[in-house]
Structure 1
Amino acid sequence: MRHRLSAWLAPQRPATPEPIDDPARRRVLIIELIIVFAITLGLSGVRSLLSLVDALLRPEPLGEQRVAINAPQATMDLIDLLKQLLSVVQLLGWGALGAYLLVRGGMRLAEVGLDRRRPGRDLRLGVGLTALIGLPGLALYLVGWQLGLNLAVQPSTLDETWWRPITLTLAAFGNSFAEEMLVVGYLLTRLRQLGSGENSALLIAAVLRGSYHLYQGIGGFVGNLIMGLVFGRVWQRTNRLWPLIVAHTLLDVVAFVGYAFLRDRVTWLP
């Protein structure tokens, strides 16, 4: 039991990928990391920080302010639909960029757990992670909101249209693929190649995940930091990325589609 706990708290670094010692190759990897996150989730983190600062400077308390995750992007339904779909394409492109760079660097996607060898076990683990993160995460958000540490987060303010559940489900998958591919599969792999320890790399990835949720408030940062620690450790121990994508997708589908369905039917949702 003690050995198993130690393996989760302080896992051994795997044999592959091997750390890169050549200074020129290390410099290329560092530049690559800066570029990738400067145009994807790192930039989102800076924007979220500025959004939080702006919210804190307003006269209204955080708990009385609202922020929408999936909001209308046009007044005409067809144009709104197309712009929602383009947002999904952008997210998929971000995730594909991380996958491509790993493959371009000589790795196989199976090495980060993005293969079809064990779909049943991946699905079961993903559902288990959904249960582990979902209810405690909702409780943490509601407590943070009541304490004034969070804005009132509205997962969807889209109008009631035939395509709303479709685009929200696609957005859930787009978010999960982009985040788990970049923050876990890509970033943690690159940090291993740069010689970072498993725990320090995990903390970096978790802080990054929390940073681009700062627009939700301090509670949003803390909740996603914890989620990042759990998801990153599961990947470090299992080397499977699909369960994280499954769990993240299910969490977002419940949040996006469930909120859109319930927001006018219950009084306790913002």
Structure 2
Amino acid sequence: MHGTDGVTLAVPPVGRMRAEEGSASMRVGSGRCQHGPDGHLDIDHTQPWILPPLAILPGPDPSDSARPCQVSLTSECQGSFTSIMNATAQAADSTSQTPPSTPILVGALVSRLLMILALGLLTPVLVRLAVPDTTALEGAFWTNATVIVVDLLTIALVGWLLAREGKRIGELLHFKLADLGWGLLLAVILYVVFLVATIIGNLVAYQGAPPVSQEQLRLPLAVGILAIVAAVTIAIAEELLYRGYLQPRFEAKLGRWPGMLLVALVFGLQHIGFALTSPQALVSKVVSTLLVGIVFGLLYWWRKRLMPLIIAHALVDIVGLGLPTLLIALS
């Protein structure tokens, strides 16, 4: 930029990028650009203008190959030019960040619920086709172990949703050494909450303790090992989806408490697929996991980090799901 109130910007005339001397004029943005005989580009900001295509610029003149082309802007025009450049940068940035629409958020909210329901319905049927004398309770253990497939799909879904917003899944899974300590503390809290919530769920469903099954369970060792792995994948998938992705976005749309409670409710409902052995088992599971989901939401508010919750969730599921299944398989 050049002028009494501007700054000179020198551009070497390389190839076809050389301004023509004489009286050639171009329309370039929010002012009229006049190329004068002194080699400067004077812009009148009172006239509409657009940037000139490079094709209209003539080739280099050997006689002035060492002379730069200079552009003059008045202070008022400089402001217009800066505004245009800022708007262009913002428009380019917005194309890489697409905020989630309400239908996409609702679809993400019910996606895992539907996948687990399908898994809970289909897995026992497929297991019985392979092993006809498989009981309903044994089929439920198979469902718990094979949920790894749904977990991987859930993680992929969250990754895709974040990518639409110009974000990466690693931003939510960032690990700090302090997360181990917080994860252990939260695991103790959650385990106590889980026990209390289970008692409440049983009181609602059974009006007391649930009946004790006398069934002799038979599970292959592979199911026991998969149950340990599933305890970890469940923690990663559920915390990524419900607390890491959905909770902040529904809180932004509905308000803090309504958004958190909605996500906790669906978190509880998704466990229907794990409790299809009886209506009472279904009610008990949904009530208990709804209460646990609310506590998960509160802990996320407290820590404002996902990794401690993932660690705590995995530890609770290993103790409550993985190890019991493995011990049954080993027996």
Tell me the TM-score normalised to structure 2 length: 0.52
Quote the residue 1:197 is aligned against: 255
Q: Superposed, which structure 2 residues align to 1:214-229 within 5 Å?
A: 214=272, 215=275, 216-229=281-294
Would you say the 8 A contact 1:42–1:208 is kept in 2? no
Quote the residue 1:148 is aligned against: 206
Number of residue pairs matched by the alignment: 208
Quote the residue 1:126 is aligned against: 183
**Aligned counterparts of 1:92 and 1:239: Cα–Cα separation in 2:** 24
Q: Superposed, which structure 2 residues align to 1:79-158 within 5 Å?
A: 87-109=147-169, 113-116=172-175, 118=176, 120-141=177-198, 144-145=201-202, 148=206
Q: Which has the larger Rg?
A: 2
Deviation at 1:251, TM superposition (A): 1.2
**Aligned counterparts of 1:38 and 1:171: Cα–Cα separation in 2:** 20
Q: Superposed, which structure 2 residues align to 1:34-53 within 5 Å?
A: 34-42=106-114, 44=116
Deviation at 1:32, TM superposition (A): 1.2
Quote the residue 1:212 is aligned against: 270
Provide the alpha-carbon RMSD of the alignment.
3.7
Cα offsets for 1:186-223 (capped at 9, x unmatched) = 11132245x32111111011111111224333332222
Cα offsets for 1:31-83 (capped at 9, x unmatched) = 212333443225647998x9xxxxxxxxxxxxxx958642279xxxxxxxxxx
> Does 2:250 align with 1:166?
no
Counterpart AA for 2:311: V
Quote the residue 1:234 is aligned against: 299
Counterpart AA for 1:131: V
Gap runs ≥5 in structure 2: 1-97, 122-135, 276-280
Identical-residue share of aligned pairs (%): 26
Q: Superposed, which structure 2 residues align to 1:174-189 within 5 Å?
A: 174-189=233-248
**Aligned counterparts of 1:178 and 1:43: Cα–Cα separation in 2:** 13
Is the alpha carbon distance of 1:165 and 1:66 closer, same or farther for their aligned partners in structure 2, counting shifts above 3 Å? closer
Counterpart AA for 2:269: S
Would you say the 8 A contact 1:209–1:224 is kept in 2? yes
Gap runs ≥5 in structure 1: 1-24, 51-64, 74-83
**Aligned counterparts of 1:152 and 1:67: Cα–Cα separation in 2:** 17
Quote the residue 1:32 is aligned against: 104
**Aligned counterparts of 1:153 and 1:208: Cα–Cα separation in 2:** 28
Deviation at 1:264, TM superposition (A): 9.4
Give 3-state SS (helix, strand or coil) of 2:166's partner.
coil
In terms of fraction of residues, the more helix-rich structure is 1
Tell me the TM-score normalised to structure 1 length: 0.62
Is the alpha carbon distance of 1:96 and 1:46 closer, same or farther for their aligned partners in structure 2, counting shifts above 3 Å? closer
Would you say the 8 A contact 1:72–1:158 is kept in 2? no
Deviation at 1:259, TM superposition (A): 1.7
Deviation at 1:224, TM superposition (A): 1.2
